[in-house]
């Protein structure tokens, strides 16, 4: 079951009435300030408050700028991706036959990168197989491209099931991919609360899905893809002939360059 529609709960009143506005909250807090005190004590309190606020301003300034610095650290560690893509959670009725799935930006071989020893050292990466055309680089597969490959494995399974075709991927390969995607979801532990009920895009729909019409913030896949292409390992095992040597798989640079010839 891919789409899990459900019946929303009936609601008597618009949701806005259920939640207190900011004004309500402010009013509820006020009585604390209006206790009966001598006017001298009141003046003292105000003075102390002003002092305290000034002190806060002086002492908090470095903390605030430190936190601004921290915000920059929210970028991802390896490629410095920031969550600067806003995407709406929306119904997507594209079928498995859509060209979108075949877009080269999802090509797992584009995710094979050759990273310099310097980059590997700076980022504390474990050692990896040497890149055949530059002995100061090692080969890594970017995680997102591996996960995307797994998504595409299940796309193929759906097509094969629908069209009564033999399975191109083994059960082991598919199970590996299922585990990989489960681990991704668990590792991300996405805490975005998706609204429930007849709101957003599905205000007037009979069947509703939590969160449809709600925005979320994503990393820029195209930025990751650019990093991959800039550091390509020129690998494409799908294009080597059966009788070719292993190293020939590293002769398919996306930009058509020929690093094995040298200059």
Ligand X SMILES: *[C@@H]1O[C@H](CO)[C@@H](O)[C@H](O)[C@H]1NC(C)=O
Residue 223 lies near ligand X (rule: CB under 6 A): yes
Nearer to ligand X, 85 or 139 (CB): 85
CA distance 157 to 53: 63
Size of site (CB under 6 A) for ligand X? 8
Instruction: Give me the least distance between CB of 123 and ligand X, in Å please.
Output: 18
Q: Does 220 bind ligand X (CB under 6 A)?
A: yes
Return d(Cα 3, Cα 207) in angstroms, integer.
Answer: 11
Please give the structure tokens belonging to residue 80: 């410095």
Q: In the bound complex, what is the minimum distance in angstroms from residue 246's beta carbon to ligand X?
A: 12
Select from 66-74, 124-132, 201-209, 236-244 the region that touches ligand X (CB under 6 A). Answer: 236-244
| 243 lies in the binding site for ligand X (CB under 6 A) | yes
Closest approach of ligand X to the CB of residue 147, in Å: 20
With residue 244 as reference, give the H or E element that holds it.
Answer: none
**Could you say whether residue 184 binds ligand X (CB under 6 A)?**
no
Residues 152-181 that bind ligand X (CB under 6 A): none
In this complex, which beta carbon is closest to ligand X, that of residue 110 or of residue 251? 251
Rounded to 10 degrees, what is the CA torsion of 13, 15, 17, 23?
-170
Determine, following the binding rule CB under 6 A, whether residue 35 of this chain makes contact with ligand X. Answer: no
**Would you count residue 241 as binding ligand X (CB under 6 A)?**
yes
The C-alpha atoms of residue 26 and residue 41 are separated, in whole angstroms, by 24
Q: CA–CA separation, 86 vs 151, rounded Å?
A: 22
Give Cβ neighbours of residue 107 (< 8 Å, ≥ 6 apart): 145
| Site stretch for ligand X (CB under 6 A), options 26-34, 81-89, 106-114, 185-193 | 81-89
Between CA 223 and CA 227 the distance in angstroms is: 6
Binding residue for ligand X, selected from 46, 158, 244, 247, defined by CB under 6 A: 244
Q: Does 116 bind ligand X (CB under 6 A)?
A: no
Half-sphere exposure of 82 (CA within 13 A, CB side): 6
How far apart are alpha carbons 3 and 63 in whole angstroms? 46
Cβ atoms of 108 and 146 within 8 Å: the answer is yes
For residues 156 and 223, which CB has a smaller minimum distance to ligand X in the complex?
223
Stretch that binds ligand X, among 118-126, 198-206, 209-217, 240-248 (CB under 6 A): 240-248
CA angle 25, 30, 32 (to 5 degrees): 125
Does 205 interact with ligand X (rule: CB under 6 A)?
Answer: no
Sole binder of ligand X in the list 79, 85, 141, 159 (CB under 6 A): 85
Q: How many CB atoms lie within 10 A of CB 115?
A: 21
Summarize as ranges the residues that interact with ligand X (CB under 6 A): 82, 84-85, 220, 223, 241, 243-244
């Amino acid at each position: 079951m891919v789409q899990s529609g459900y019946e929303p709960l009936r609601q008597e009143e618009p949701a806005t009435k259920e939640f207190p506005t900011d004004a309500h909250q402010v009013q509820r807090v006020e009585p604390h300030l209006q206790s009966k005190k001598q006017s001298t004590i009141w003046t003292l309190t105000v003075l102390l408050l002003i002092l305290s606020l000034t002190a806060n301003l002086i002492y908090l300034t470095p903390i605030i700028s430190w936190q601004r610095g921290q915000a920059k650290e929210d970028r991802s560690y390896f490629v410095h991706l920031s969550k600067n893509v806003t995407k709406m959670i929306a119904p997507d009725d594209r079928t498995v036959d859509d060209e979108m799935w075949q877009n080269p930006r999802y090509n797992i071989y584009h995710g094979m990168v050759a990273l310099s020893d310097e980059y590997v050292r700076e980022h504390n990466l474990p050692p990896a197989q040497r890149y055949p055309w530059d002995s100061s680089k090692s080969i890594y597969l970017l995680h997102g491209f591996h996960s995307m490959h797994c998504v595409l494995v299940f796309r193929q399974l759906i097509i094969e099931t629908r069209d009564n075709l033999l399975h191109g991927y083994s059960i082991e390969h598919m199970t590996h991919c299922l585990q990989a995607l489960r681990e991704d979801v668990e590792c991300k532990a996405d805490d975005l609360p998706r609204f429930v009920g007849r709101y957003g895009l599905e205000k007037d729909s009979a069947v509703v899905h939590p969160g449809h019409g709600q925005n979320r913030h994503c990393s820029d896949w195209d930025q990751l893809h650019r990093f991959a292409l800039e550091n390509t390992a020129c690998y494409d095992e799908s294009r080597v002939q059966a009788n070719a040597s292993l190293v020939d798989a590293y002769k398919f640079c996306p930009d058509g360059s020929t690093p094995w010839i040298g200059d």
